[in-house]
């Protein structure tokens, strides 16, 4: 039985927008029986309100709610990917700190560089997504592990796509053959190469799916279709309409460290894959067509369109099947367990959970509070609400529960202004238990 009570991911990404490695791994941990707190960095896209959404029995999406009171005496495994969080992660009282190095801190990710060395050196475990990232981190910290990206094989292969969306009409009327790309369209994409593909393969349609990131203009051709952002639930349906999947990245120091998720997702569908000179793609031989330059990319595209075989399709799918996010999560949990054993960290397995009463609280969006000293939390100017408080007719009613854990014995009183305002006060008959800070 696992000693891991909870894995906590600090607020870095918006959960429902551009599903990436952290979202996949956190969900997989929960499917393997580990409670997960994903602290959402929500925006206008998702429209998430303050509160907690339960994604499965052990997976909690936490929106602007301080998780520390919910953890009780548990010391979570804090798993983070943004180097800027190197000091913040300590606020969650971690039992173990994992830094996952997902991209090289250079060029487009130069902002990560100032905190990179500290993040790697101070972590109990460092995970890396590629050989280059492994080499960089292992020069700083001996506890470094290579864990490449992966795919949701069942979803992209069509083995289990129940509950997922269909492709929109914007691709259904596009004639085959279709050369496709799924991912952010950013400065690391080779737009000159994309233009050449459209021109040289004018009898094909080139479909680009994904939002523009740090660029504002893209090339235009009659057979070049920029379909923009699509929710993750529809991506597999689009991918299965491609004849070839491409990864047209520039050759830079940053892209040398990339292990593209889309490579694994393309392979899961069985389609041939053509990439530029990415070291992580070269590992797969003829299953992923690696291109040293633009001319070889064109040659490989021709080979992918007209020289592929059913046998290679099955081989690609077999590789993708062995490289699922669930398999990656199993490996990471084994690394965590071994590290805990090496450090003699043994805890009684008492998994963290959040009561239905807290989950069903609907008053959060209308509440504000003066916060005295929740020093454990990285959040500031959030709302404190209690799972034992209801609001009726502008009066706060508090209920006590002898079985509840009292956090700091805080006492609150209704403020004279604003419905549902709470301020720290001295009225003894309103004692809030298990206060949540939002």
CB of 35 within 8 A of CB of 352?
yes
pLDDT value at position 48?
A: 77
| Residues 267, 336 within the same domain | no
- How far is Cα 245 from Cα 207, in angstroms, rounded to an integer? 10
The dihedral built from the CA positions of residue 66, 71, 75 and 79, taken in this order, carries a sign that is negative
Tens of pLDDT, residue by residue over 180-198, are 999 999 999 999 999 999 9
- How far is Cα 337 from Cα 349, in angstroms, rounded to an integer? 13
CATH number assigned to the domain comprising residue 211: 3.40.50.2000
Give yes or no for residue 382 having a pLDDT over 60: no
Tens of pLDDT, residue by residue over 406-418, are 223 332 222 223 3
Q: Domain of 186?
A: 153-322
| Residues 226, 158 within the same domain | yes
| Residues 300, 435 within the same domain | no
Give yes or no for residue 420 having a pLDDT over 70: no
Task: Look up the pTM and report it.
Answer: 0.81
CA 313 to chain centre: 28
The pLDDT-based confidence of 297 (bands split at 50, 70, 90) is: very high
- Count how many domains the chain has: 3
The pLDDT-based confidence of 73 (bands split at 50, 70, 90) is: confident
pLDDT value at position 233?
A: 93
Tens of pLDDT, residue by residue over 352-374, are 777 776 776 655 544 332 222 22
Answer whether residue 350 is part of any domain.
Answer: no
| Residues 12, 119 within the same domain | yes
What is the residue-averaged pLDDT of the chain? Answer: 81
| Residues 114, 92 within the same domain | yes
- How far is Cα 27 from Cα 37, in angstroms, rounded to an integer? 10
Boundary of a domain, candidates 311, 342, 373: 342
Tens of pLDDT, residue by residue over 139-187, are 999 999 999 999 999 999 987 666 567 888 889 889 999 999 999 999 9
| Residues 312, 398 within the same domain | no
Mean pLDDT of 78-103: 95
| Residues 183, 211 within the same domain | yes
Strand pairing category for 51-56 and 59-63: antiparallel
| Residues 121, 251 within the same domain | no
- How far is Cα 309 from Cα 21, in angstroms, rounded to an integer? 30
The pLDDT-based confidence of 347 (bands split at 50, 70, 90) is: low
């Amino acid at each position: 039985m696992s000693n891991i009570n909870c894995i906590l991911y600090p607020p870095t990404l918006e959960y429902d927008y551009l599903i990436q490695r952290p979202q996949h791994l956190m969900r997989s941990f929960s499917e393997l029986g580990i409670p997960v707190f994903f602290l959402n960095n929500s925006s206008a896209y998702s429209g998430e309100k303050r509160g907690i959404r339960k994604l499965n029995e052990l997976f909690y999406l936490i929106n602007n709610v301080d998780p520390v009171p919910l953890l009780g005496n548990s010391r979570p495994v804090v798993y983070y990917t943004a180097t800027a969080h190197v000091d913040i992660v300590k606020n969650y009282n971690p039992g173990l700190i994992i830094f996952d190095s997902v991209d090289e801190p250079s060029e487009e990710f130069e902002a990560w560089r100032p905190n990179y060395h500290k993040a790697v050196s101070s972590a109990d475990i460092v995970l890396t997504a590629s050989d280059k990232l492994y080499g960089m981190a292992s020069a700083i910290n001996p506890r470094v592990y290579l864990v490449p990206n992966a795919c949701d094989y069942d979803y992209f292969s069509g083995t289990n796509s129940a509950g997922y969306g269909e492709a929109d009409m914007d691709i259904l009327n596009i004639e085959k053959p279709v050369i496709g790309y799924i991912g952010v369209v950013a400065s690391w994409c080779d737009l000159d190469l994309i233009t050449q593909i459209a021109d040289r393969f004018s009898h094909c349609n080139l479909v680009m799916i994904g939002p523009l990131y740090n660029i504002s203009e893209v090339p235009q051709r009659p057979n070049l279709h920029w379909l923009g952002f699509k929710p993750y639930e529809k991506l597999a349906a689009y991918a299965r309409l491609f004849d070839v999947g491409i990864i047209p990245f520039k050759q830079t120091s940053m892209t040398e460290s990339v292990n593209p998720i889309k490579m694994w997702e393309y392979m899961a569908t069985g389609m041939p894959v053509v990439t530029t000179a990415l070291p992580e793609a070269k590992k797969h031989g003829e299953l992923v067509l690696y291109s040293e330059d633009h001319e070889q990319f064109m040659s490989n595209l021709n080979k992918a369109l007209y020289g592929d075989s059913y046998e290679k399709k099955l081989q690609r799918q077999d590789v993708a099947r062995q490289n699922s996010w669930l398999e990656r999560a199993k490996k990471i949990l084994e690394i965590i367990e071994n590290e805990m054993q090496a450090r003699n960290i043994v805890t009684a397995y008492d998994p963290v959970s959040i009561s239905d009463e807290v989950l069903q609280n609907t008053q959060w969006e209308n509440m504000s509070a003066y916060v005295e000293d929740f020093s454990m939390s990285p959040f500031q100017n959030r709302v404190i609400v209690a799972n034992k408080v209801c609001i009726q007719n502008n009066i706060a009613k508090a209920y006590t529960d002898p079985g509840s854990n009292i956090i700091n014995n805080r006492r609150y009183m209704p403020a004279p202004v604003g419905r549902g305002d709470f301020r720290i006060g001295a009225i003894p008959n309103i004692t809030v238990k298990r206060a949540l800070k939002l």
